[in-house]
Copies of this chain bind each other. A is one copy, B any other.
């Protein structure tokens, strides 16, 4: 029952801005990339018809501390850790490390809280219990990894 996942991405030209560094909004996209790959690694999809009813995962809170800039062609490890698991919500910690360096360097640290929702007939979202199929596969990371 995993509590972490790692994926590597390369900073693309279109991710940069005129300051010559990756635009900060793109780190939030990278967080989601890791979250969705984590689900796939469990045999799940974040966009699922595998549960009845289907559920979605809107974000209710996102945060990021930016420590060092990321530049074009940098290789970034996005290390996802499950920081909290409630009946209807999950919180992830993300540690970004630049790999193309003598030693991997932590460049940013993010957090994302997502809520499990179902939709009524008119598409309106309502918080719902995380389906057992998902919840049974995810556990919270040891505290020492989260600090």
Identify which of A56-64, A82-90, A94-102, A135-143 touches chain B.
A56-64
A66 and B56 form a contact (CB under 8 A): no
Q: How far is the CA of A47 from the CA of B18 in the complex (A)?
A: 9
In the complex this chain forms, how many copies of it are found? Answer: 4
Which residues in B have their C-beta under 8 angstroms from that of A26?
A: 25
* A13-42 at interface with B (beta carbon < 8 Å): 13-14, 16-21, 23-26, 28-29, 32-33, 36, 40
Considering only CB atoms, which chain B residue lies closest to A24 in the complex?
A: B59
Interface, chain A (partner B; CB < 8 A) = 12-14, 16-21, 23-26, 28-29, 32-33, 36, 40, 45-47, 56, 58-67, 69, 71-73, 123, 125
